[in-house]
Amino acid sequence: MMRGEGTLQADGDPRWSAAAIRLAAFNRVATDSVDAAAEAVGRIFCPHDLKPVHHASPDFYTLHNSAAFEGFSINYVAYGGSVSIDPGCLERFFLVQIPITGSARVRTAACEVATGPDRVGSLLSPTIPTRMTWQGDCAQLILLVERRLVEQRAAALAGTSRRTVEFDPAVDLETAPGRALQSQIAHLVDVAESLGPGRSLAPNAAADLREAILDGLLNGQRHGLSDAIAVFDGRAETLPRALKRVRDHLHAEATEPLDLAGLAAVAGIGIRALQLGFKRHFGTSISDMLLDIRLAHLNARLRNADPSARITDIAFDLGFTHLSRMASAYRDKFGETPSTTLRKPS
């Protein structure tokens, strides 16, 4: 816990001992000093301007509890009174904010979102400047996800190279996708509290949580690549059955050599018609889709492989024959080399 002048004490202050506070064992900031709060929370998230809405408000305090995992963290943040927060662009991460008490107004260049418990949350993208006002002793559960993870997974789902992803800032908590995302965040809180600050998740469990988070964000919330993902995944209504069959065949037989005549037989149409159909409906060629599928498999294998594994063996097993081209395409898609992915902890 942050110590010093203006620090709240866990053994007596009612704002700290309230039963609704989550992740209490992971406290990072507890203070009634505005300057101390801005500095300490800024070190955990990013530098930002923090001001009470009412000057020198006696109700001001800050609590920030944070449990960190590989690639993401789950946080409980509460401000006393009403405060304005101006983080600008987050740059390095996405934030999903789920209100527990109070309310907030989130303003971007394009819109303003009014959030409140069980109604609306917010989703902040790293490249969109944002300002917020937290009102009425607002407390929120906040999921932080590294930008790299989201953009890499979006690229894999959309069949594109890695690019900027920007979400609609409103999360409707009264829809099935919104409720599912809120449930995932609540589950992360429960997992962290069960573990406590002295224990870490098993690598497989941590990977499962990351997968669920990325799926909930990219397939549940609207963003700039949503349409491309729907088309590449075959969920677009205009996709002919013949192309769906070929796409599914490519996924199932990704390690096999490309056989256009065989794929045309699967589709039940001619080779030229199949090639034109891929360009029209998927926006890519058959060979590029197969490459993208193999790269996604390679990324998954490397993230779960022992650091001593040979990248060459894994690549050949997945059907790659030109290793230099594979490495270049992998770097373009995921923003890092295969060896970098292999060395990262699970």
For residue 344, pLDDT beyond 90: no
What whole-number distance in Å separates Cα of residue 156 and Cα of residue 219? Answer: 12
Which pLDDT belongs to residue 260?
93
Q: Give residue 239's pLDDT.
A: 62
Q: Would you kindly state where each structural domain of the chain is located, as residue ranges?
A: 14-228, 236-343
Q: What distance in Å separates the CA atoms of residue 74 and residue 80, rounded to the nearest whole number?
A: 20
- Would you state the pLDDT for residue 346? 58
Residue 8 pLDDT > 50, yes or no?
A: no
Q: How confident is the model at residue 227 (pLDDT cuts 50, 70, 90)?
A: confident
Give the model's confidence band at 235: pLDDT under 50 very low, under 70 low, under 90 confident, else very high: low
What percentage of the chain reaches a pLDDT higher than 90? 68
Q: pLDDT tens digits for 168-217?
A: 999 999 999 999 999 999 999 999 999 999 888 888 888 889 999 999 99
With a pLDDT cut of 70, the percent of the chain lying above it is 92
Which fold is adopted by the domain 236-343? Arc Repressor Mutant, subunit A (1.10.10)
pLDDT exceeds cutoff 60 at 119: yes
Mean pLDDT of the chain: 89
Distance CA 66, CA 265 (A): 55
What's residue 201's pLDDT? 86
Q: Cα(281)–Cα(339) distance, rounded to whole angstroms?
A: 34
| Mean local confidence (pLDDT), 130-159 | 94
- Residue 214 in contact with residue 153, Cβ under 8 Å? yes
CA distance 90 to 130: 8
pLDDT at 56 (0 to 100): 65
**pLDDT by residue (tens digit) across 188-200?**
999 999 999 988 8
Mean pLDDT of 285-313: 92
234 pLDDT tier (thresholds 50, 70, 90): low
Which fold would CATH assign to domain 14-228? Jelly Rolls (2.60.120)
Model pLDDT, residue 178: 95
